[in-house]
Structure formats: structure tokens, C-alpha cells
Amino acid sequence: MLEVRNLHSFYGDAHVLHGVSLEVNSGEVVALLGRNGMGKTTLIRSIMRLAQPQVREGSLLWNGEELMHLTPHEVASRRIGLVPQGRRLFPSLSVVEHLTMLKPASAKHGWTVSRVLDMFPRLAERKNHRGNQLSGGERQMLAVGRALMIDPELILMDEPSEGLAPVMVQHLETIIADLGRTGLAILLVEQNLYSALAVANRFYVLETGKVVHAATAAEIKENQASLLRFLGVH
């Protein structure tokens, strides 16, 4: 369903992605692993067609349609949601305002404010709180909820567990696994290997802008050592 082929992305003259290819199929949770600065966020931003980085070569096929010439808004309207690294909420907008600011083209999968608030009871209790009044965990829930409100078939999540307490990380893992079971596809950027192992069906390791390893959950169960080696964990 998402097919990234030979993607080359740049910031100015800096060539950051060197021919990345990967795919995410319907209902799969796919983890994108890699150490700091390896190009994970660059890949997510390239897929969303954000102004930076510049993609100079390659192809981004989404259900057969080329995304390369679309705007970020048009990408979102194709039901690709984004949970950006660092959450990117608005400090002065309330929880409910965050959830109602983007209107889906049509509510195919039935995501509504009340369904999102049912999923995140903590947010329901704080629905009139502003972005800057929420804890780190609540902000991450809201960032996920906001992405669901565009009624996605694929969500790109960029390090959602970053900076969260272990109990919130576990809660998030449950949510990601539950969303995966509803048929939603998720491309999950993670530095937390154990979080990724808990939820993902397949794995890619990115190193200096190249995919250096790809494996299924079953393959990793058999042989975790090779994955750890590619991540530089000993």
C-alpha cells in the first residue's frame, strides 16, 4: 500500500537519504529503527511531502498513486496521518480544539472526538485543558488522537515514546497494538528497541540514510543478535 522506492532526500547540499526503499502494507505495524541522526525523521518528512527535506529522486506510491507531487495537505487527505517527533501541539489550543481543527474528507472509519476521548480517558478528563497544561504522556495521546481525526489508513509515528515515563510507554504500546489490530497501518519510528519489538510485525534499520537491514518479527525472534548488531547494541 505504501511503497517507497529509491528515495534521495537533501537539506540544501546535504545528501541525507541515499536511495531508501521500504513498504508498509495494510494493517501492518512496521518499525523504523536507527540511531540518532540516521535519517528517520527525514524519511517521515519526505513521505509527508513537507517543504524540507527536498526529495530529488525516487518514488512514493500510495495505493498506486504517486505522492511526490502533492502538498502535505493533499497527502493527509489521502488518509496518511502524522504524529510528528516532539508532538507539535499548540500551547493555547484545548484538547478538543486540537481534535477538531483538521476535517477528514469523509469519516470512513468513524473516528470522532468522542471515540478518540473514549480511547484516551485521560484526555477526556482534560478536554478543555490547553496544550501547555498537559503532561508529556497526555500530549503524546493528543498527538495520536489528532492524527486519528483525519481518518487515516496509515499513520507515521515519529518516536512517540521519546521522553515518556515507562508506564506511559507501555500504555502507548497497547494503543499502537490495538490500532494495528483495527487494520490501520503504522510506520513507527523508534529508538526504544523493546517498544518496537513489543508491537511491530516487521523492522527496518536505517543507517546514514540507507536501509541496512530488514526483518520480520518471526525472524527476529529466531535471531535477535543480528538486529542488535545492525543497531550497534552489544
Residue that is written with C-alpha cell 487494520 in the block: 183
| Nearest partner of 81 among 36, 116, 39, judged by Cα | 116
48 binds ligand ATP (CB under 6 A): no
Residue that is written with C-alpha cell 527496518 in the block: 204
40 binds ligand ATP (CB under 6 A): yes
Among 7, 8, 41, 145, binds ligand ATP (CB under 6 A): 41
52 binds ligand ATP (CB under 6 A): yes
| Nearest partner of 203 among 72, 29, 14, 40, judged by Cα | 29
C-alpha to C-alpha distances, 182 to 28, 176, 177, 178, 185, nearest whole angstrom? 10, 10, 9, 7, 9
Residue whose CB is less far from ligand ATP, 42 or 161: 42
Contacts of residue 232, Cβ cutoff 8 Å, sequence gap at least 6: 35
C-beta of 25: minimal distance to Mg ion in Å? Answer: 24
41 binds Mg ion (CB under 5 A): yes
Among 191, 201, 224, 226, binds ligand ATP (CB under 6 A): 191
Select the span of 13-21, 35-43, 67-75, 92-100 touching Mg ion (CB under 5 A).
35-43
C-alpha to C-alpha distances, 198 to 145, 174, 175, 231, nearest whole angstrom? 21, 9, 12, 17
Contacts of residue 219, Cβ cutoff 8 Å, sequence gap at least 6: none
C-beta of 125: minimal distance to ligand ATP in Å? Answer: 31
Residue whose CB is less far from ligand ATP, 179 or 189: 189
Could you list the residues that contact Mg ion (CB under 5 A)? 40-41, 85
Task: Give contact residues for ligand ATP (rule: CB under 6 A).
Answer: 11, 14, 16, 34, 36-42, 52, 85, 191
